[in-house]
Structure 1
Amino acid sequence: MILTDDKQLEALEARRVAEEQEQEPLPTYASLQASSSAVPAAKAVNFIAISRHHSSVRETLVIDASLFVPSFLRPPLSPGETVGMQNNVKLESTHGHVYADITLVGNRKNARAVMHMKSTHGGITAKIHGPPTRSAFVLHSQALNGEVRLHIPRNFQGPLIISHRHGSVRFSDNINCELTTFGEVDSTRRCFLGDFSRWSDAPGRWIGDELVVEVKHGDVTIHYDDDVLGAPVKTRPSTLLNRIFGL
């Protein structure tokens, strides 16, 4: 079959386009995602309270402790709370676990995020993180019958008060390198993570981070939020006194 010059040119052009299409890689799922419209980031919130009796609590939150929330939108005050000292985050479960992934934003002076997590018949797993300019926070974790696993920001600076009855307390190696333990009396261990020379005993002077953990029947494990998953943890540093007295 003999083709005219025009038809030969058309055939050659069609062949060239087909070959280019065969060589061009198909779009990947990642590239399709990147080209699509971005999903908006979660909005910052404040004064969040969730309490459940027969199911677990699972929350991913962005918290700005300086964010204004009208009083009629805030949760009811708990016993001991006041309008000026209300928890920015309160997560509780009676017969379930508490899972929380919390990003802290906002850095207004003295605007610390105060968070309370409690499980009566379950455990607590919480990851706290945020940008370098994040607000400071106070986290009170209480588990009566379950373990507590916490992942805290690497720039955490402040005291760790851990009370436990039946279980172990373990820190990741990276935390152990920055941790100073001042003793353990009546099953309460008092530590400071970071430079404790900044501490002041004057009331209201400390505006940095604080961590308070209470566990009766369960273990306590504390990591940095960017520690490699499965990083080793130690119950306490190996010292001469520990080896002599079998601690």
Structure 2
Amino acid sequence: MIITVDSDVKDIQQLDIIVNRATVADDPPPAYTNDSTTDNDAKSPPPPPPPGTAEPSPPPSPPPQLASVTVPPSVKPTNFLSLSRGNQPIKGTYVIDPRIKIPQFLLPALAADETESTRRNAFLHTSNGSIDVSLFVVGDGDYKQKANILVKSSNGSVVAKLHTTDTATRPPVKLCAKSSNGTVTIHLPRTFCGPVTLRTNNGAVRFSDAVAAELTTFSEAQRTRRCFVGDFSGSGWTGEAAGWRGDEVEVETSNGGIRLQYVDGAHGGETGEGGGAEGKGKNKGTFLGRLFGGL
């Protein structure tokens, strides 16, 4: 055992411990432009303009940021897609790129209302089954030919979620959705701008609150409603189908309702939306709601 003599022990509180000491020069005094300027004067707003001088207008507000569209990497793009199923539903995600060249021998036969120049970029049809698809339309600003899509069910509901990038980097889109006996729900991209034609013999037409805020209605007669979604005044659309190079949607169902809303995110739709111009959807799921066509 080692015994430490008390005289060899120093109080640690009395030790001068110096670690990495460095000499630091004194900071120079701040520069002053005017000795009479105070802090309040420095923060005071600029003087008002002379009388008779117009005040400068405030800068414009930045445009709203749209949610970016992410194309599923697991789905390869295609063109002139044709799916026809007799009694089977159609459900899935498809990426349509109108720029892709398909060998002629792989193309399906033309429909009665088609020519080679008007061949649809996507055709989905089932006789007795529902359709629930997400459609991604991609392209670039140099490709101006309209992407033509038809989704049709003879006896079944139709849900089509249309995803696109911004209008500067994609082709315009024409989407037709039809059902003889079933509801039709269309999810539009936020960049959609064009005419919308809705026909239903027995069913209600409903818009989400967000779509209703961008909606211009022109007419409703003979169970057909004609309207425009987007900036109608700045679109240049004159009401003529010929020559229109923007988006358009046509929806038709004999026995069923129609609903339009925006699609947000990669695969989802709007959340927290009400009934738009046709009501707030308070009867949804109730007996009266189903009886009177509530969606």
Which amino acid in the other structure matches residue 126 of structure 1? A
Change (3 A) 1:146 1:237: closer
Give percent identity, aligned residues only: 37
Tell me, yes or no, if structure 1 residue 168 matches structure 2 residue 204. yes
The correspondence for 2:77, drawn from 44, 56, 61, is 44
Tell me, yes or no, if structure 1 residue 137 matches structure 2 residue 170. no
Q: Distance in 1 between matches of 2:73 and 2:181?
A: 38
Q: Distance in 1 between matches of 2:189 and 2:134?
A: 12
Shift in Å, 1:117 = 0.8
Counterpart for residue 153 of structure 2: 119
Tell me, yes or no, if structure 1 residue 60 matches structure 2 residue 96. no
What's the TM-score, normalizing by structure 2?
Answer: 0.64
Shift in Å, 1:191 = 0.2
Counterpart for residue 271 of structure 2: 229
Q: How many residue pairs are counted as aligned between the two chains? A: 200
Q: Which has the larger radius of gyration?
A: 2
Tell me, yes or no, if structure 1 residue 213 matches structure 2 residue 246. no
Q: Distance in 2 between matches of 1:81 and 1:157?
A: 25
Shift in Å, 1:235 = 4.5
Q: Distance in 2 between matches of 1:181 and 1:128?
A: 22
Structure 2: stretches of 5+ with no match in the other structure: 1-71, 281-295
Shift in Å, 1:66 = 2.1
Change (3 A) 1:236 1:181: farther
Structure 1: stretches of 5+ with no match in the other structure: 1-38, 239-247
Determine if contact 2:79/2:100 at 8 Å carries over to the other structure: yes
Q: Distance in 1 between matches of 2:240 and 2:249?
A: 19
Determine if contact 1:176/1:237 at 8 Å carries over to the other structure: no
Change (3 A) 1:203 1:211: closer
Which amino acid in the other structure matches residue 128 of structure 1? L
Change (3 A) 1:203 1:96: closer
Per-residue deviation, residues 205-247 of structure 1 (Å, max 9, x unmatched): 2111000001110011111001533521235389xxxxxxxxx
Runs of 4+ residues over 6 Å off in structure 1: none
Determine if contact 2:164/2:191 at 8 Å carries over to the other structure: no
Which amino acid in the other structure matches residue 122 of structure 1? G
User: Once superposed, what is the RMSD of the aligned Cα atoms?
Assistant: 1.9
Counterpart for residue 135 of structure 2: 102
Q: Distance in 1 between matches of 2:160 and 2:97?
A: 17
Deviates more, 1:228-237 or 1:174-183: 228-237
Determine if contact 1:169/1:221 at 8 Å carries over to the other structure: yes
Q: Distance in 2 between matches of 1:215 and 1:200?
A: 26
Change (3 A) 1:138 1:60: same
Shift in Å, 1:202 = 6.1
Shift in Å, 1:100 = 1.1
